[in-house]
Homo-oligomer: A and B are copies of this chain.
Amino acid sequence: MTVTFARRMDGLKASEIREILKLTQQKDMISFAGGLPAPESFPVEAMQKVAQKVLEQQGSQALQYSTTEGYEPLREKIAERMNRKFATSVQANNVLITCGSQQALDFSGKLFLNEGDIVLCESPTYLAAISALKAYQPRFIAIPTDAQGMVLAELEKTLASQKNVKLIYVIPDFQNPTGNSWPLERRRGFMEIINRYHIPVIEDNPYGELRFENKIIPALKSMDTNGLVIFTSTFSKTFCPGLRIGWIAAEEKFIEKYVLIKQGADLCTSIRGQMEIATYMDDYDFEENVEKLIQLYRVRRDVMIEMLEKKLPQNVTFTHPQGGLFLWVQLPEDIDASELLQDCLKKKVAFIPGESFFPNGGGKNTFRLNYSNMAELNIREGIKRLVQAILEYQTDSKKRVVG
C-alpha cells in the first residue's frame, strides 16, 4: 500500500532553480541567480533600537497572537504610503497583512481558482507566482509582452475567445523577470479592457518604489473604478525580507474573503514585526532608507549594463530596466540557456535560465540576471565570466556543426 497525494501535487515538482541556488552558495561563486536584496542595506542598528523599544513598551502584546487582519497602525501607514506613492485611494480597512507577498499569491489562487480555470499572465512572468497558483490547478495562458508590458491586442483577443478566465496576474513595475515597466497609456488601456470583461487582477508590485529615474507611474489600482484590482506588495524589497511582512490592498469584499483564508492558513502574521516596521516609520526616515536602496541598486544596474554593452556579442540583447532588481537577456535561438548555465557554473558565475518564467514552456534562449545582491566589482568580474562562457559556447557550437 502506498500513501496517495492530492492530484494538485502532480504539478508541483522540485524546481531546478532550487538546485541552482544551492550551487550558488559555493565559495567564489558570483551569483546573479537569486532575487535577494543587498544585505548591507538592512538597517541593522536601527532595528536593534526598534526591537528593544517594541519589547520594552509592548512586549506582551508583541509576543502574543494577534488579529488576522494585521496591526492597525501599520495598515494605516501602508494605506497612506500607497496613496502617496502610487496615487491609489485605499484605507486601512482595505489592507490585509500577509507573510510576504508570496502568501498573497497563494491566497489568491485559493480564493479564485477551480481546477481548469484560466489564469492570464505576462509572458514571461514571475516563476514563484506560477508555483503558487499551480497548486490550484488552473490553465495558464501567457500573454505576449513587449518592452511596454502586456500586449493589449493579444489580451483582448484572448479574453474575447476564452470563457473561463478567472484571474489576471501582472507585474506592471520593473517586472520579474524582465525589468520592464508599463507606461501610463498601457495601464489605462489595460484597465479599460479589464473593466469591460470584469475580471479580477492581481497587481504584484514589490519593486515599484525602487525607481532609479523619472517619476513613479500610478498603479493600476489607482485607475480601478470597478474594484477589480488586488494590489499586493511587501517590505522585503524596501526594508528587509526577514520579517516576512507583505500586504494585500483590495476592496473590502475581497479582504473579508482573504481574512477567512488567512485564518485557516496561519491565523495571523507575527505582530512583533508589524510593530517594528510601524515603530521604525515613526522613529526613522523610511523614505531615506528607500532612497539609499535606489542609489545602491542604480549604480549596480549601471555597472551591469555598462559591462553587458561593452562585452556582449551583438546578437545577444538585454533589457534596460529603470528600476527594480532584474534584467533579462535574450540569446540567439541556438543557445540553450540551461546548457550555458552549466558552463557558467564551472566558471563560478550563475543566473536563472528563462524557461522557468514561462508557465507553458519556451524561452530556452533567455535568462534573468539579478544586480541588487552583488557589489560592483563582482558584477564586473561576473559579467566577464558570463560573456566568456557565451563566446566559448558559440565557438564550440560552430566546431560541433563544422565537425
The interface of chain A, by Cβ under 8 A from chain B, is 1-9, 12-15, 18, 36-37, 39-40, 42, 44, 47-48, 51-52, 55-56, 59-66, 98-100, 102-103, 105-106, 110-114, 117, 128, 131-132, 134-136, 166, 198-200, 228, 236, 240-244, 256-257, 260-261, 263-273
Distance in angstroms between the alpha carbons of A134 and B136 in the assembled complex: 15
Distance in angstroms between the alpha carbons of A254 and B111 in the assembled complex: 26
A59 touching B36, Cβ below 8 Å:
no
Distance in angstroms between the alpha carbons of A66 and B99 in the assembled complex: 14
Q: Of B8, B56, B63, which contacts A242 at CB under 8 A?
A: B63
Distance in angstroms between the alpha carbons of A31 and B269 in the assembled complex: 23
> Could you say which of A114, A132, A166, A263 has the most chain B C-beta atoms within 10 Å of its C-beta?
A263
Distance in angstroms between the alpha carbons of A99 and B12 in the assembled complex: 21
CB-CB under 8 A from A37, the residues of chain B are 64
CB-CB under 8 A from A8, the residues of chain B are 110, 114
Closest CB of chain B to A329's CB: distance in Å? 23
A5 touching B112, Cβ below 8 Å:
yes
A64 touching B242, Cβ below 8 Å:
yes
B47 touching A59, Cβ below 8 Å:
yes
A266 touching B99, Cβ below 8 Å:
yes
A240 touching B36, Cβ below 8 Å:
no
Copies in the complex: 2
Distance in angstroms between the alpha carbons of A275 and B129 in the assembled complex: 28
> Could you say which of A42, A63, A66 has the most chain B C-beta atoms within 10 Å of its C-beta?
A63
CB-CB under 8 A from A100, the residues of chain B are 266-267
B112 touching A65, Cβ below 8 Å:
no
A243 touching B266, Cβ below 8 Å:
no
Distance in angstroms between the alpha carbons of A120 and B265 in the assembled complex: 20
B51 touching A64, Cβ below 8 Å:
no
Contacts A42-B59, A55-B48, A260-B12 given; indicate if A114 touches B7 (C-beta within 8 A).
Answer: yes
Distance in angstroms between the alpha carbons of A91 and B52 in the assembled complex: 34
Q: Can you report 29 A-B residue pairs in the complex whose CB atoms are below 8 A from each other?
A: A1-B198, A2-B198, A3-B228, A6-B112, A6-B113, A8-B110, A12-B264, A39-B63, A42-B59, A42-B63, A44-B55, A44-B63, A47-B55, A47-B59, A47-B63, A48-B55, A51-B52, A51-B55, A64-B242, A99-B266, A102-B264, A106-B264, A106-B265, A106-B266, A128-B264, A128-B267, A132-B264, A135-B265, A242-B271
B240 touching A64, Cβ below 8 Å:
yes
Contacts A3-B200, A55-B47 given; indicate if A63 touches B267 (C-beta within 8 A).
Answer: no
Q: Of B59, B135, B272, which contacts A243 at CB under 8 A?
A: B272
Distance in angstroms between the alpha carbons of A272 and B239 in the assembled complex: 15
B135 touching A110, Cβ below 8 Å:
yes
Closest CB of chain B to A252's CB: distance in Å? 13
Contacts A14-B256, A100-B266, A111-B9 given; indicate if A272 touches B242 (C-beta within 8 A).
Answer: yes
User: Considering only CB atoms, which chain B residue lies closest to A268 in the complex?
Assistant: B244
Closest CB of chain B to A242's CB: distance in Å? 4
Distance in angstroms between the alpha carbons of A128 and B56 in the assembled complex: 32
Distance in angstroms between the alpha carbons of A257 and B14 in the assembled complex: 9
Distance in angstroms between the alpha carbons of A185 and B12 in the assembled complex: 39
Closest CB of chain B to A254's CB: distance in Å? 8
Distance in angstroms between the alpha carbons of A242 and B48 in the assembled complex: 18
